Structure 1
């Protein structure tokens, strides 16, 4: 089992003692030769992440960075450890567009990084919600508290982000933590992909941090109906959420919330 936390000696109030920290380590994603890369496979990205659920992370990453839309688009995801580095080897189905070229190293804080295309229309593969879909304000207001109760690594370290997929009743389908907020979202989307839940129409993406362009990008790729966040969104995130018909609720704390997009989707 992957270790998500570790201990380091620190000084607190003048006293030296152990403290629990979130683990951050590289994960190399490689494209297998059958997908069209060179002999032995080709490293396509290195993600700085919290170890654990690496297959979900790879699958979620692929939904934005490649033509992967459903479980059948991935022939195999295989995790291993080579040269003291964790790796996931990816084999895509014939005809599935492989990941586009990008910066080799991706930090835990980075989503789009070297990609400079802001048009999300190619990622929109299904409607985010059905006709007449609405969610109650009370459910939205309560989702961050529900997520917080499941953040075990955060309770120990205070140093990880979390994301979850929830339905209109407020029931959480899956949740993950990671030092990178984008990684946490990718793990959620990847789990949904592997479980055959994509497109995640009529579902909500819940995040423990702020909402930037990259989070909306991933939400559009997963076809969720809206985003619920503890913190505020960026201006571009608001513009894109409105353009793609998403509910965007931010600063959701203590039963209160700001609605930045999709007010008509709240009951």
Structure 2
């Protein structure tokens, strides 16, 4: 049982499931994390549009997702976005209109290297490759020494604080989350999605659309592993500290060390590994 046709998709989808416990079978209702495609278009000066991304995501905060993706990939800068709206083109069937967003810029569509390739991403991984690495070095600089100091006690409280804010995960058990916290451990914002990188894009998009970038003095906590894409998006948003409940990748560690970021992995209970930026973690 899926969603009715021609309706706006929500973050969860109701279905039926047969639950087996030992030799007993019970048919009951269940909630699944919704996964739907999202097409991101840039409006061109002549009134047309140009598709720059197609990603699988959990519906909700779609405008933030589009803005965060464009900001994180260097396609636009803060302040470039004039408006974001769902597409109402007549060539789209009604069921697809809430799966397509159009981003209108204040100026012309930029001719950036990032637009030389057609982004097609999944809910499992972001956009990477040699072109992405070269572009990152061109548009990002190492983060300055900020005097930020974080105690282990604050770090150890982040996973539970993130989990308590995951409303849709509580229903479905099938979503990742990204949370933005202050250096004192106060929760600022949390976003959920079937994709780790999508959840981060939603956070970055929220910050960009509310004119909060750069996010210096903040921490990013993610529910899964910390790959290159997560670190890239955090760097583009100016977030100096990234924490993950699971492992980082080798490229993520290299990026963190090169750009002056703090990277914490295996953050569980009262323990963690600090892979880069140890100076921001205050220990006796």
Q: TM-score, normalised by structure 2?
A: 0.86
Aligned to 1:144: 159
Distance across 1 between alignment mates of 2:164 and 2:182: 17
Aligned to 2:3: none
CA contact (8 A) 1:124 1:223 kept: no
After alignment, is 132-141 or 144-153 more displaced? 132-141
Say how many residue pairs are matched: 262
Distance across 1 between alignment mates of 2:143 and 2:223: 21
Aligned to 1:59: 67
CA contact (8 A) 2:65 2:198 kept: yes
Query: Cα gap change, 1:172/1:128 in structure 2, threshold over 3 Å: closer, same or farther?
Result: farther
> 1:190 aligns to what SS in structure 2?
helix
The residue correspondences of 1:107-122 to structure 2 (distance < 5 A) are 107-113=122-128, 116-119=131-134, 120-122=136-138
Matched, 1:8 2:8: no
Deviations 1:70-116 (A, max 9, x none): 1x211111124542212111112326735523345321112115664
Aligned to 2:5: none
Matched, 1:196 2:211: yes
CA contact (8 A) 2:43 2:109 kept: no
Aligned to 2:32: 21
Deviations 1:132-176 (A, max 9, x none): 222222111211111100011111111100001111111121110
CA contact (8 A) 1:204 1:227 kept: yes
CA contact (8 A) 2:82 2:104 kept: yes
Distance across 1 between alignment mates of 2:41 and 2:130: 19
- Once the two structures are TM-superposed, the CA of residue 6 in structure 1 deviates from its matched residue by 1.1
The residue correspondences of 1:76-225 to structure 2 (distance < 5 A) are 76-80=83-87, 82-83=92-93, 84-85=95-96, 86-94=99-107, 97=110, 99-113=114-128, 116-119=131-134, 120-124=136-140, 128=143, 130-225=145-240
> 1:216 aligns to what SS in structure 2?
helix
- Once the two structures are TM-superposed, the CA of residue 129 in structure 1 deviates from its matched residue by 5.3
> 1:200 aligns to what SS in structure 2?
coil
Distance across 1 between alignment mates of 2:204 and 2:281: 23
**Residue segments in structure 1 that go unaligned for 5+ positions in a row:** none
- Once the two structures are TM-superposed, the CA of residue 263 in structure 1 deviates from its matched residue by 1.1
> 2:133 aligns to what SS in structure 1?
coil
Aligned to 2:49: 41
CA contact (8 A) 1:23 1:50 kept: yes
Distance across 2 between alignment mates of 1:260 and 1:61: 26
CA contact (8 A) 1:102 1:115 kept: no
CA contact (8 A) 1:128 1:202 kept: no
> 1:117 aligns to what SS in structure 2?
helix
- Once the two structures are TM-superposed, the CA of residue 65 in structure 1 deviates from its matched residue by 2.4
